[in-house]
Amino acid sequence: MTLDILAYAAFFLSMALTYAIICLGLNVQWGMTGLFNVGIAAFVAVGAYTSALLTTPPSPDRFGGFELPIFVGWLGAAVTSGLLSWAVGALTIRLRSDYLAIATFGIAVTVQLCMLNLQPLTGGPFGIGFIPRPFAELQDNALAFSLANFAVMAIVVIALYLALEHLAKSPWGRVLRAIREDEMAAQALGKRPIRFRLQAFTLGGAIMGLAGAAQAHFIGFIAPDNYMPILTFQVWAMLIVGGSGNNRGAIAGAILVWGLWALSAAAVSTFVPAEQQARAASLQIVAIGVGLCLMLLWRPRGLFGEVSPLTRLKSLRSAPSKAPSKE
Amino acid sequence: MNPQFIMDGLIAGAIIGLGAVGVTLTYSILRFSNFAHGELLSWGAYLALAVAGALGFLSAGLTKPIAPFSFGWALPISAVIAIGLTGLLALAVDALLFSSFRRRGSAIIIMVMASFGASLALRSLLEFLFTSKPAYFTKALQIAMKLGGGLRATPDQLLMLGVALVAVVTVHLLMTRTDIGRAMRAVSENPALASIAGIDVRRVIRTVWFLGAALACVAGIMSGLLIQIRPYLGHDLLLPLFAAAILGGIGSVPGAMLAGLIIGLCEALAVQAVGAEWRAAVSFVILIAVLLVRPRGLFGKAS
């Protein structure tokens, strides 16, 4: 019994960590750079499908199945999603700030259509199965299998976290923050905002693709239903709750919101009669939407939000300057 | 090729155009792209459905179809009430959400995000209240009339085209010939200067919300009457609405309507040429083309 619970906990945490990876990618785009992406589901889906095509065994009724190692699939996923984000960014980042949002929304709709209709490539509404899972040889032992997968996810998240923290402190990260806080000043120092924004958007998209691949291999099966707009909403809720601009916040937010989501879904399925479950599930989504708005209204920096460097500087300056002014 | 696509395209385009006029007005005056605008279409349709149901319950005579059309007096009456209610809904969302961001001077993108959250909540609330099962204003079937040139249309469809034309001309006259219209254009040019010149900016903002919501409600009822009513009705139209607003040029009422018709016609053409399953991609292709070639749109001012 306790072993079962442990195996389930490992499964639950692994799932939460795949969301944490998406969240880290979104944090590069939104938290570090201030770019609004409403098409998260599309970038995750492209990653998942790329990796699935590269690693599944050949299949007669659709293109691909190259049986490459899982590692290659993950890499391919990051590259494809990165390229897609680069294309979207190159087109819209130089325009008004919300054109990027509208374009990413369009990408989400279009990728959804492609998943459903490009049957020879994506398997259509039934998706792709038999995606190789890491440590498949341990599958008989549920506990060992879950723990091994959890370890992989944890290593990926920690590695990404360390890399992103390093990046944020690097000159590149400082330029990004400078652009976000005061574009004119950054431009005056000879930095080109458009180029840096585009790089950040591409990097974020690549991380989302990686997350999609990780999730696909963890579950072993993908279908268009997994990449509905609700995924985008969930990830946004995670980042806003955790605190944008803060990588630790992004990870904590992912685990917290995924936990709340799983708990409320379990509550709906136990306490609500079967014929009313679809309605109750829609209330769950209302709660996410209202929660998102309330967070924006009351605590825009989230639970662990980053303190803006300018505010920090101001409070540092004002603290010592107040003391002498009293004399 | 069957010329019927022209009729289908005009009808879809009229619905998109009416919605896009609302998007372009809120965009040019409130300065953010409102992702919750599609939900105003769905709410408009469902509010009209609920009011029409209540009217039909009170008096069965109201549901008896009026001569060539498929609906009774209950629908026009409930449409007027629903327009008011949708306007109130938009004002309520603004008072609860967007006004506090404006007061704080939040970044535009925060408002976009809040509208995103609001759209999610509004849509799922509809799904909760009315379930996701499609609903209809009327169960009556209509025979399409021959119009010549190989075109066919039902009386309902022709009436709706007329309604859309009247609505757009009214809004255009309102924007160009009345005091409130001039005030709206002044605020869209420069809000600070407009308020110094004695224009009540808050009144202008309320008018914009009400006007946009009223047009959205009309578009929602049109879509509900001619196709069906679903909670995702507005969400599925959101991309065409944005594409039409950008193609027409942000802030231009005739531009939005014209662009709506162009997108509707292109969609209908694509349905015939490529297949109905790719319909939703048409507005994305148009959007990308506009952003590449002429980001300010047909009638937009250069920024």
If you write DSSP's letter for every residue of A36-103 in order, what string do you get? --S-HHHHHHHHHHHHHHHHSPP-TTSS------HHHHHHHHHHHHHHHHHHHHHHHTTS-HHHHHHH
Q: Is B267 helix (H, G, I), strand (E, B) or coil?
A: helix
Beta-carbon contacts of residue B141 (< 8 Å; ≥ 6 apart): B70
> With an 8 Å Cβ cutoff, is B100 touching chain A?
yes
Asked if the model's pLDDT at residue B152 lies above 90, the reply is no
Facing residue for A289 by CB, picked from B33, B118, B284: B118
- pLDDT tens digits for A196-233? 999 999 999 999 999 999 999 998 899 999 998 889 98
Judged by CB atoms closer than 8 Å, whether chains meet at A101 and B131 is answered as no
Residue of A275, A282, A295, A301 to mutate, testing the B interface (most B Cβ within 10 Å of its Cβ): A282
Residue of A nearest to B102 (CA): A297
Q: Is B67 helix (H, G, I), strand (E, B) or coil?
A: coil
Asked if the model's pLDDT at residue B39 lies above 70, the reply is yes
Judged by CB atoms closer than 8 Å, whether chains meet at A109 and B295 is answered as no
Sign of the Cα torsion A225, A231, A233, A237 reads positive
Distance CA A122, CA A62 (A): 7
Judged by CB atoms closer than 8 Å, whether chains meet at A283 and B124 is answered as yes
- H or E element in which residue B85 lies: helix B74-93
> With an 8 Å Cβ cutoff, is B33 touching chain A?
yes
The distance from CA B274 to its chain's CA centroid, rounded to whole angstroms, is 26
Better-predicted residue by pLDDT, A252 or A302: A252
Q: What residues form DSSP beta bridges with B153?
A: B145
Distance CA A19, CA A150 (A): 13
Residues of chain A positioned with their CB less than 8 A from the CB of B116: 38, 233, 236, 292
Q: What residues form DSSP beta bridges with B229?
A: B135
pLDDT band per the 50, 70, 90 thresholds, residue B1: low
> With an 8 Å Cβ cutoff, is B246 touching chain A?
yes
User: Among residues of chain B, what percentage have pLDDT more than 70?
Assistant: 99
Judged by CB atoms closer than 8 Å, whether chains meet at B283 and A106 is answered as yes
> With an 8 Å Cβ cutoff, is B170 touching chain A?
no
Asked if the model's pLDDT at residue B138 lies above 90, the reply is no
Rounded to a whole number, what is the distance in Å from the CA of B82 to chain A's nearest CA? 23
Facing residue for B128 by CB, picked from A96, A101, A286: A286
Contact A207, A25 (CB under 8 A): yes
Structure confidence at residue A177 (pLDDT): 85
Structure confidence at residue A312 (pLDDT): 64
Rounded to a whole number, what is the distance in Å from the CA of A152 to chain B's nearest CA? 33
Residue bearing tokens 């391919």: A76
Strand ranges inside B98-236, DSSP E: 145-148, 151-153
Nearest residue to A13 (alpha-carbon basis) of A227, A207, A256, A304: A256
Asked if the model's pLDDT at residue B209 lies above 50, the reply is yes
| A57-61, A115-119, B15-19, B289-293: least confident range | A57-61
What's the complex ipTM?
A: 0.89
Judged by CB atoms closer than 8 Å, whether chains meet at B277 and A233 is answered as no
> With an 8 Å Cβ cutoff, is A109 touching chain B?
yes
Judged by CB atoms closer than 8 Å, whether chains meet at B112 and A91 is answered as no
> With an 8 Å Cβ cutoff, is A66 touching chain B?
no
Rounded to a whole number, what is the distance in Å from the CA of A244 to chain B's nearest CA? 12
Query: Angle B232-B237-B238 (CA atoms, 0-180°, nearest 5)?
Result: 100
Segment A301-313 shows an average pLDDT of 65
> With an 8 Å Cβ cutoff, is B43 touching chain A?
no
> With an 8 Å Cβ cutoff, is A278 touching chain B?
yes
Q: What is the mean pLDDT of chain B?
A: 90
Segment A25-35 shows an average pLDDT of 90
Distance CA A71, CA A234 (A): 27
Nearest residue to A254 (alpha-carbon basis) of A206, A296, A208, A220: A208
- pLDDT tens digits for A88-104? 999 888 887 788 989 99
Joined tokens for residue A103: 């374009």
pLDDT band per the 50, 70, 90 thresholds, residue A283: confident
Rounded to a whole number, what is the distance in Å from the CA of A147 to chain B's nearest CA? 36
Residues of chain A positioned with their CB less than 8 A from the CB of B28: none
Count of CB atoms situated within 10 Å of the CB of A298:
8
Helix count and strand count (H, E) for chain B: 12, 2
Beta-carbon contacts of residue A307 (< 8 Å; ≥ 6 apart): A301
Sign of the Cα torsion A238, A256, A306, A156 reads negative
Asked if the model's pLDDT at residue A310 lies above 70, the reply is no
Contact B290, B267 (CB under 8 A): no
- DSSP assignment letter at B186: H
Judged by CB atoms closer than 8 Å, whether chains meet at B127 and A279 is answered as yes
In chain B, domain spans: 29-231
Judged by CB atoms closer than 8 Å, whether chains meet at B35 and A286 is answered as no
